[in-house]
Amino acid sequence: MTDPAAATTASPEGLCAFVDASPSPFHVVETTAARLRTAGYSELAEGDRWPAAGKHYVVRGGSIVAFDASVFAVDGAFRIVGGHTDSPNLRVKQHPDLEAAGLSLVGLEPYGGAWLNSWLDRDLGISGRLAFAGPDGARTALVRIDEPVLRVPQLAIHLSENRKGVELDPQRHVNAIRGVGAKGPFVDLLAEAAGVDPETVLGWELMTHDLAPSRVVGADGDLLSAPRLDNQGTCYAGVEALVAAPSTVGVTPVLALFDHEEVGSGSDRGAASDLLLTVLERIVLAAGGDREDFLRVMSRSVCASGDMAHATHPNYPDRHEPAHRIAVNGGPVLKVNQNLRYASDATGEAIFAVAAEQAGVPLQRYVHRADLPCGSTIGPITAARTGLSTVDVGAPQLAMHSARELMGSADVAMYSAALAAFLAPA
């Protein structure tokens, strides 16, 4: 067996740097694209004609699809690693300026399945993008404020009923304090950060992020604490896998990272959109193939839907399927659900099991308790949208959907190594 740490350049420190550079889906795309450019990839615009081969990527908002078509062949296949760039958080409302009890507030709205209690009493920054009027029409600019401009305070225990805590109302209890007394419009602060005139701002997609840096933790450095591990753990492992995957004649490796998974993927750039399908077909067409060739290639192709997996929680072992314990630092996880919340079938399981063996990493298998509702991924959506054989995989973690999550530091390299072996089968 090979050393998984040598298979890619993925490392715990690298994942920490990736997460800290990527507070929003738009910043995930920017960070991923920068890594791809250092590896010789170039950006393609959807409105241009595409070259016949080469290493390229396509950006659509908070989504990015990258591929190495240097060895594409019409009698070959695509190997696709999918993931998502978004994470549950608190997002800025369209009319954010509020006042109460002599304090200036910013109206926030939960996005996805945010674990609301975990967002209380944290120093919060702001990130995302602004749309504004430019000299040649509407334009967008990234925004990032890494200063503690917002905070959502917890209610004092003395004011709760029976001192048992409070149930948070997402409408009333997650607005953030900005400061004491009346403040100017919140948009002024955003515009200044983006370097644009506040009068030109037309709209935004903005979210809060925890300002505490990602860290390798634990007495022996065997754990990693960070925000947004779901699913930036896959974004980082996936891009490092793509860059490291050796060329295999006839196998075209693809990395597809979608926005909006946490809210159902139903957008112009989500997994339910045409983004992946059009990119794959255009690879075939640019190489001189036709629609028939595209359909033939697709029939031989496979997708690994990468999303983080639930490790067995030591304080709540009863919440897990007893015959399917998942260990931190135990290697990547293959996820199966009989009701298709995960897309894995026997064929996909076998393909990824071979990849894990090729990478020299152990493979764990996850099944959700039958009496608890199971979350889902882009896997079933991608499988239904494309007709691709799809397998759901991930790396084990604790505190999923919390403002800050926990995983094993050794799992970073093992996960990336397995994805690299999947992209370039021996």
CA–CA distance, 426 with 424 (Å, rounded to integer): 6
pLDDT at 135 over 90: no
Q: What is the pLDDT of residues 208-246, one digit of tens each?
A: 999 999 999 999 999 999 999 999 999 999 999 999 998
**What pLDDT is stored for residue 5 in this prediction?**
59
- List the domain boundaries for the chain: 12-87+227-423, 89-210
Query: Rounded mean pLDDT of 383-394?
Result: 96
**What pLDDT is stored for residue 1 in this prediction?**
43
One CATH from 3.30.420.80, 2.30.250.10, 3.20.20.80, 3.40.50.300 for 89-210:
2.30.250.10
Burial of 128 (0-12, 13-18, 19+ CB in 10 A): buried
Q: What is the pLDDT of residues 281-326, one digit of tens each?
A: 999 999 999 999 999 999 999 999 999 999 999 999 999 999 999 9
CA–CA distance, 212 with 225 (Å, rounded to integer): 10
The 10 Å CB-count burial string (b at 16+, else e) for 98-112 is beeeebbbbbbbbbb
**What pLDDT is stored for residue 384 in this prediction?**
96
**What pLDDT is stored for residue 2 in this prediction?**
54
pTM of the prediction? 0.96
**Distance between alpha carbon 396 and the CA centroid of its chain, in Å?**
15
14: alpha, beta or left, given left = phi > 0 and alpha = psi -120 to 50? alpha
The CATH superfamily of 12-87+227-423 is Zn peptidases (3.40.630.10)
Q: What is the pLDDT of residues 158-193, one digit of tens each?
A: 888 877 778 899 999 999 999 999 899 999 999 999
**What pLDDT is stored for residue 426 in this prediction?**
82
Write the secondary structure of the chain as one string of H (helix), E (strand) and C (coil). CCCHHHHCCCCHHHHHHHHHCCCCHHHHHHHHHHHHHHCCCEEECCCCCCCCCCEEEEEECCEEEEEECCCCCCCCEEEEEEEECCCCEEEEEEEEEEEECCEEEEEEEEECCCCHHHHCCCCEEEEEEEEEEECCEEEEEEEEEEEEEEECCCCCHHHCHHHCCCCCCCCCCCCEEEEECCCCCHHHHHHHHHCCCHHHEEEEEEEEEECCCCEEECCCCCEEEECCHHHHHHHHHHHHHHHHCCCECCEEEEEEEECCHHHCCCCCCCCCCCHHHHHHHHHHHHCCCCHHHHHHHHHCCEEEEECCEECCCCCCHHHCCCCCCCCCCCCCEEECCCCCCCCCCHHHHHHHHHHHHHHCCCCEEECCCCCCCCCCCHHHHHHHHHCCEEEEEECEEECCCCCCEEEEHHHHHHHHHHHHHHHCCC
Apex 100 CA angle, 94 and 103, nearest 5 = 95
**What pLDDT is stored for residue 395 in this prediction?**
98
**What pLDDT is stored for residue 179 in this prediction?**
96
